[in-house]
Amino acid sequence: DAKTTQPPSMDCAEGRAANLPCNHSTISGNEYVYWYRQIHSQGPQYIIHGLKNNETNEMASLIITEDRKSSTLILPHATLRDTAVYYCIVRVGGAQKLVFGQGTRLTINP
């Protein structure tokens, strides 16, 4: 699986959009981009995934660049409950395991 690079930490004001970047410059054509988050003392929570196209669900939007070498997770109106570690993972379609990196620790400030 391709390696991902994320900033170790970010801050965002409550109510604003949180934009979390992820670099995956060695991504292959059959690798998906997944985002999970982990709130303190809980298991990781699936957020969203995509292959080429931008994706949106009730939690977030995923923007993937045309060359697929980077992506951005957008939380449109961040709340204090969005404070968590966010993991960007690249995974081959059909592969069983997720390879987690260190993630980005996002802090939402009041």
Binding site for another protein (CB under 8 A): 32, 34, 36, 41-47, 49, 85, 87, 93-103
- Closest CB to another protein among 53 and 96? 96
Nearest Cα residue to 35 out of 53, 52, 59: 59
- Closest CB to another protein among 12 and 48? 48
- Closest CB to another protein among 34 and 68? 34
| C-alpha span between 89 and 37 (Å, rounded) | 11
Considering the complex, what minimum distance in angstroms separates the CB of residue 17 from another protein?
Answer: 22
- Closest CB to another protein among 59 and 74? 59
Considering the complex, what minimum distance in angstroms separates the CB of residue 22 from another protein?
Answer: 13
Q: Please, are residues 73 and 56 in contact by the beta-carbon 8 Å criterion?
A: no
Considering the complex, what minimum distance in angstroms separates the CB of residue 46 from another protein?
Answer: 3
Nearest Cα residue to 95 out of 21, 23, 34: 34
Q: Please, are residues 27 and 44 in contact by the beta-carbon 8 Å criterion?
A: no
Considering the complex, what minimum distance in angstroms separates the CB of residue 72 from another protein?
Answer: 18
| C-alpha span between 71 and 50 (Å, rounded) | 10
